[in-house]
A and B are shown apart, each in its own frame.
Chain A
Amino acid sequence: MLTIILILLPLALSLITLSLKKEKEIRYFVLTGALIEFGLAVAAFVQYKTSCHCQLLFRADWLASMGVSLKFGMDGISMLLVMLTTFLLPVIIMASFSHSYERPSAFYSLILLMEMALVGVFTAFDGLMFYIFWEMALIPAYFICAVWGGNDRIRITLKFFIYTFTGSLFMLGALIYLYSRTPMPHSFDFQWLYLVALTPTEQLWIFLAFFLAFAVKIPIFPFHTWQPDTYAEAPAAGSMLLAGIMLKMGIYGMIRWMIPICHQALQQWGTFAMILAVTGIVYASLIAIRQKDMKRLVAYSSIAHVGLIAAGVFALTIHSMQGAMIQMISHGINIVGLFLVIDLIEQRTKTRNIADLGGIALKAPRLAVFFMVILLGSIALPLTNGFVGEFLLLLGIFEHSVVFSAIGGLTIIFSAVYMLWMYQRTMLGTTNQLTGQIADLTWTEMATLIPLVIMIFWIGLFPGLFLDVALPDVLQILNFAK
């Protein structure tokens, strides 16, 4: 029951928000709602018993004749991602408070709608439901970026929409094919879909279809070109939603669909996918070194980081999979933190151009400290969240293939190169006209950043809590592959 409440609550909140008029009212209402949602997710987390599979199950028939049912529940993997979503949403909402958007009710309503779709994707245990929520997440994302974005928003957002939508259609095709292969009466239920026995050729096609859909979403090189533009043009909240949570859908899909269903194809063609992922790491890292726009730099760094996660999933070892789980959470937290800091700088100086900034640490030491901590998390310094994830990922990939691990490991060098470069050019040095009068963080802004910092160290110091939750389900999924 809790699961369905987690999905419906944001929808209800979203509809109510539309009817509100005053901006202040909207803000408090939406924030409170998102916090309640987070509270419910925590309640679910507490109730959740590790070692059992899909729990908190909700099930109702919908199109019984077609074998479609409203089946929602949570296993360890879903649990972690729902926690991530509900944790980040209040942060993202608070981060938007410093902007005064036009038509705030529509803006916040869309954010809540997005939350509903995301929670739906992560908790759906029915193939068609999964697809419906998957596409539903795209709609608010499109409008948030297309209405409140930067100057070139229409063209960029259209590209983003068509790109990801095209990818998703392949997934739909694969799902329908799988559905048609389930025994009579057909069903979209995950359990049924998992049991479909496919010939190697069929597996290959299904694998390709899924790979295309997820590779675009994540994005994996060379399907990534929509991403830097979109992140750069989207409003801060949009970038955070896309990078922090939405791209996890792709990785989640890989874990949830590709490994159990096309494991043979994965073992045969996984190396090919791995090459793409690892190439993406080096490629995006290299490009990030020379970026001029902070948001673009972070966007490319994100491609590199998620490339490592994807490589970890393809490596199919327990360490890399657990690393992928932890790193999904960590990456979500770190990149939201980075976009938040960049947004704070942009609000104060009206620019994201690295060359125009400098010396901010002199005037805004608190901002500099927060930036440093988040940056350290993102370059995987031990005792921060990034390290646990990257350590496990690289270890797992190493067990699979030494070469890929060594190449993927380059990311720890490159990330230091571009991140420290960005920090040096923006925060350190002497001030100029733009940064001379920059104000330090307000209490609201601190309150937005502090939860992120707490999570950075919490996961870095005590990852056990998060690792244990997902372990049995990750093991089960790996069992399919054996």
Chain B
Amino acid sequence: MVVLIPLFPILGFLILGLGFRTIPKKWTAFIGPGMILLSFVLSVIIFLNIRHSVVSLPINLFPWIHIGPLNIPFAFLIDPLSSLMMLIVTGVGFIIHVYSVGYMKEDPGFNRFFAFMNLFVFSMLLLVMGANYPIMFIGWEGVGLCSYLLIGFWFKNQEFNNAAKKAFIMNRIGDLGFLMGMFLIFTTFHSLNFLDVFEQAKGMTSGDSNLVAITLLLFIGAVGKSAQIPLFTWLPDAMAGPTPVSALIHAATMVTAGVYMVARSNILYVLSPATMAIMGLTGLATALFAASIAIFQNDIKKILAYSTISQLGYMFVGLSMGAFSGAMFHLTTHAFFKALLFLAAGSVIHALGGEQDIRKMGGLKNAMPKTFWTFLIATAAIAGIPPLSGFFSKDEILAKTFEFSSGIWFIALIGSLMTAFYMFRMLYLTFFKDFRGTEEQKHHIHESPAVMVIPLILLALLSVFGGFINIPSVFGGNTGLSNFLAPVFAGSNAVMEHETPLSHGTEWLLMGVTLAGVLAMVFWTYHRYITRQHGLSPDDARRSLPVRLISHKYYVDELYRAIVVKPILWLSQMLHEIVELRIIDRFMNGLGTMVVWTGNTIRYVQTGNVGFYMFIMILGIMLILFFNILI
């Protein structure tokens, strides 16, 4: 049965992919989402089963690569962690597929779109279900490919294609790290299967240099896939793809693969404190950095993209504190509300005929009430307003950081206040006051059809109630998700030195401070963007230097262009024109020319004079005789 879960999406891909010009759209609308629904149902059944079973064993399908000690079976590992991810991937995936039926209705590439989406779900399932690193890597690269195909879905536009290529290449940089990490795992543990590796790792000392190297290399992979500093610039560009793609791939699932991978290898990370520190710093820096960029962005999808990067940073911060289940919890709730945000944004873009600039929106509250309410719920959830899901998950990570150090907690808090700021800024500018677009757009504004609205409502419900799966004990909850995931993290928890848990009083205080800050942000942004109508200035308006720096995304893209892209292109040109043509080829041709020249020169010895020949001959004979005597 487990095999069927990834089989349905790949089947859908094959059907839609092979018949992409013959299958009518009506069928596609059933096949595409239908296959994911089937997988989802099976995932639920497996999820229900797994709650009762204790041990999880890999399911071997067939041997894939097998040479002597290197044995990589095509195998799946179903445990609480992968089961949770399967639910998210197929569940959120299904909702987004349904939404896409409405969103992509007019697109000529309808079948192609669903084929790629199904392929993506397949790859993502491989990634989370794989029982060893190479299988995970298949999914890892597979989702990268689907991301490439879907970002560049409208391939007539070369800008979009550039974005797609950039995403793929940046991911590949990370993938090289992942690959090297795998090799080092193999040379260290002589196996690549999760269970073998983790079992052996338990016996190793903390801070072992091999472990640190392995985890760092794997983390490079995670940095690429989960868009952390320094490999994050592809994600905002990836917004070139259709909005459901952004929701599914670039918010809910693919970009969280890095978090999943670290959580999966938790025992390795726990044993390498150095990596944990680097990961924490990277996550924290990314969270703040991306949040600050988001404040000054005006493209509705780019704000969400930077928000995603920032939230992923939080997840890595959580992981680096050893709060694996906390990070997974945030991953789950983030999948709900960020997917919802994207889909609602898509609904807005759809209504406005492709407009993405929030300065040209406004006043959509009345025209699109359902979109507005769902968007509001998601905004509140991501900002961390109780009792929505984001509050619980973010609170868990913040509490962990406070356990570790109050300074880090404070920085993380600033980040989460920034989140509240940019999210409410976007909400106000999009839905409140008067419409600022063209007259034509104004007539065109409409609420989206039911096929798009129902997914929004479903996700809104999940965003509201998703937090209840893991209510902390301070509220009298039983931390259901943590208990469910506990077997996966048992090894790490045994190794980790436990800090004294916070008293309930401290926790209340922390929550109070956070909440007060968030509410202050909500009112401040209201004052700033509704009452005083800030933030509508066009791009070329004069701005102070720091603002200009941030609104140009710290010139990171320009920096990369200057220090990586340009030198490589220059090197390429230089190698070809100078080293290749002027040095190597000229040298080799020179050898040939030299032979010709030698022939040309020596031939003059053939004077044609018989006397001369005879003279040379006799001279030769005499020389030979002379040397014969000598020797």
Contacts and interface: CB of A to CB of B under 8 A. Distances in A.
A430 B156 CA distance: 5
A318 interface: yes
A290 B572 contact: yes
Contact of B70 (A289, A319, A430, A461): A319
Majority-rule SS of B interface residues? helix
A406 B180 contact: yes
Nearest to A406: B180
A467 B142 contact: no
B155 A429 contact: yes
B67 A405 contact: no
Contact of B176 (A159, A388, A412, A428): A412
B571 interface: yes
A394 interface: yes
B175 A399 contact: no
A100 to B, nearest CB: 31
A225 B67 CA distance: 36
B560 interface: no
Interface in B124-156: 134, 137-138, 141-142, 145, 148, 152, 155-156
A321 B184 CA distance: 19
A226 B589 CA distance: 10
Contacts of B579: 283
A427 B592 CA distance: 40
B425 interface: no
Interface in A203-217: none
Contacts of A464: 63-66
A470 to B, nearest CB: 10
A58 interface: no
B156 A362 contact: yes
Nearest to A429: B158
A367 interface: no
A381 interface: yes
Interface stretch (A143-151, A183-191, A415-423): A415-423
Interface string B167-200: 0110011011001101110110000000000000
B407 interface: no
Interface string A365-384: 10000000000100001110
A409 B176 contact: yes
B141 A289 contact: no
B68 interface: yes
Contacts of B604: none
Contact of A409 (B141, B155, B158, B180): B180
B165 A467 contact: no
A238 B173 CA distance: 35
Interface in B67-116: 67-68, 70
Contacts of A349: none
Contact of A318 (B67, B134, B186, B571): B67
B176 A290 contact: no
Interface residues of B, number: 52
Contacts of B563: none
A417 B142 CA distance: 17
B81 to A, nearest CB: 22
A427 B155 CA distance: 9
Given A222-B584, A417-B169, A382 B141 contact: yes
Interface string A422-465: 00100111100000000000000000000000000000011110
Given A409-B179, A424-B158, A463 B64 contact: yes
B478 interface: no
B56 interface: no
Nearest to B170: A413
A46 B62 CA distance: 22
Given A394-B179, A428-B155, A429-B158, A287 B64 contact: no
B67 A322 contact: yes
Interface in B555-570: 568-569
Contacts of B66: 464, 467
A410 B168 contact: no
Contacts of A361: 155
B272 to A, nearest CB: 18
A410 B176 contact: yes
Interface string A391-416: 11011001100100110011011001
A395 B186 contact: yes
A413 B588 contact: no
Given A394-B179, A409-B180, A420 B575 contact: no
B161 interface: yes
Top 8 A-B residue pairs of the complex, sorted by shortest distance between their CB atoms: A382-B138, A398-B183, A428-B155, A290-B572, A225-B585, A289-B572, A287-B576, A424-B161
